[in-house]
A and B are shown apart, each in its own frame.
Chain A
């Protein structure tokens, strides 16, 4: 697996395709084929299907992995690994059995759990601790935005693993509870319980930082 250099999260618009390859959606007249159809095209050797699937799924996989792991480089490795498993699954994929996006989320979550287990048995990765922003380079509003962002991320990392996964999928990825249940392979009631407990814990963790985060006037 390629070791990728860590880069900070950035707010950017969707960029053009990579390495000059056209997107399938540019060829198709409508919104584009389903993930299932793209996966079948991929299995049949269509290279553009890989580009389209990567553009659809990799950002979501990376977002979830970054939130759950708190480490960009590790999240990129997990994303690449999850996509590789998708490519290998393509030839045997049964359309309609599961949503491709649900499947990739599940793989990402499992890879994150595996990674954390391995780390608990070994060393602590210093890269997992978010770096504080440089105050000298930023306007006060930007500093407060970054402080909030980092505060939320640090608070998320203090949650138990399953709570963190459920909260990220529900409140940041905005997935429905039944889909989260499918991803985490638990009941909808268990999802509701995990998210509720996760939110209560986050509120408690963040309680002491209310003024610092700019909520004193709310």
Chain B
């Protein structure tokens, strides 16, 4: 088990093998420009796939996609939760307002039944437009 000499020269044989390894390490395998170009072309193709949405979508997925875009646009599900809570609070305040806020239903009823509203029925629109034209 040596370079064809005595077994006592095992160390020399091992050193010779190490020298061969060292020489092999000095010979790097540099890829050709063609190979590098081919690898980079593959990379570009994969990158374009990663950045492109699917061309065709199965029926029924469109509305889901719109919904996902809406949720994403408002900041994701946490923001959507906040939006839902604010909507519920607004609805509740509208139905049962606190004491310091005027009742919107009562205000609408008062306006629609007041003389101020009825007085507008007497305005002659043609006359009013005519005055605007003179000015």
Contacts and interface: CB of A to CB of B under 8 A. Distances in A.
Partners in one complex: yes
Interface in A189-214: 199-200, 202-204, 206-208, 210, 213
A162 interface: no
Interface stretch (B17-25, B91-99, B110-118): B17-25
B50 A91 contact: yes
B38 to A, nearest CB: 5
Contacts of A62: 29-31, 35
B88 interface: no
A75 B29 contact: yes
A99 interface: no
B43 A42 contact: yes
A188 interface: no
B63 interface: no
Interface stretch (B1-9, B64-72, B101-109, B125-133): B1-9
Contact of A215 (B16, B27, B35, B44): B16
What band does the interface of chain A fall in when counting residues whose beta carbon is under 8 Å from B? 35 or more
What band does the interface of chain B fall in when counting residues whose beta carbon is under 8 Å from A? 35 or more
A80 B21 contact: no
B32 to A, nearest CB: 6
Interface in A11-50: 11-12, 15, 18-19, 21, 42-43, 45, 47, 50
A137 B51 CA distance: 52
Contacts of B29: 9, 59, 62-63, 66, 75
A148 interface: yes
A174 interface: yes
Contacts of A4: 32, 34-35, 38
B119 interface: no
A88 B46 contact: yes
A7 B24 CA distance: 17
Contacts of B14: 199, 203
B43 A87 contact: yes
Contacts of B18: 171
Closest 5 CB pairs of A and B: A210-B3, A50-B43, A63-B29, A87-B46, A62-B29
Given A63-B29, A149-B24, 16 more contacts: A4-B32, A10-B30, A12-B28, A50-B47, A58-B35, A58-B39, A76-B35, A80-B39, A84-B39, A84-B46, A171-B21, A199-B14, A199-B17, A200-B1, A203-B13, A207-B4
Interface of B: 1-5, 12-21, 23-40, 42-44, 46-47, 50-51
